[in-house]
Structure 1
């Protein structure tokens, strides 16, 4: 997403705690699965180690656990329907934009020369892209637009080509980066 200077990725909770020890961190954005078996304890631990750090979790979780995590001090839980990588990447992209708008505004590069502009996408491609940025499945987008899932896939393929994107998540990230969707 162009946030390499502002974002660090870690593989486990121990590494999160090490990063908190090394430097101030504004936001810990964590996959719920990384915080298992006890995301509530993880949230409390992060908040105890660094009171100024906001915690946001993302991923498939039940409403009860999400409520307990927020009660433990998390800023929020962005629930995805499944552990599908596309769903999680879209959720995480939305979380970064939501929680750190100042970082996103400073860190995201402006539109690339090779990037398609809004005018290069058809109205229908824009509608499909907007649906993807909201985390909707092709079937849900099709229902919203009153077209078949195959038609959505056709528009998506054309849009991917215009954006130079590999898949849904990449298309959404490129669109956020270029300011095509917000």
Structure 2
């Protein structure tokens, strides 16, 4: 992807202006539009075909969760939705994931975290703020009638992870992006993507979030 097209959705004009300023400094990111409500977001997503939508939650008319659900459900829209909210609430977090959001970031994140998050979800990966990763793991690691941790059998992999894949999985569990993993391991980002893809396949996971959940449940990390 040569250029990442971003739609900003927030009912506060000052917040949109701040995000625009941060993202516009990047050569590979262009802000193609803004919206102040969920309904406007759905219309703008259809008209502008962004790659990533930075979506607030609390907005008039239609909230960001409902807008996310509408956008993700429409096969004509290929945008990845990154929820960016002030509120570190479990109901928002899990509702966003259920609605199909690709990422969840808090507004107290630094500018570099916002830029990194946009790139991660644009590349087809899932991203969670480090503050909420453990809560997601705890939620999805517990079956309806939870057995004690020690009593849960580990997942048996059809094909074991290589040493490098296990290392990549541990860094995924620390909420590192592909670029950050590449830098940490001194390898190319394309190589990291290959390792991540292999990890997802071997774990039977649909995305990075589920892979991390499985890894913790299976005591792989």
TM range (shorter): 0.3 to 0.5
TM-score by length of 2: 0.40
> Which structure has more strand as a fraction of its residues?
2
Relative contact order: is structure 1 or structure 2 higher (C-alpha 8 Å, sep ≥ 6)?
1
TM-score by length of 1: 0.47
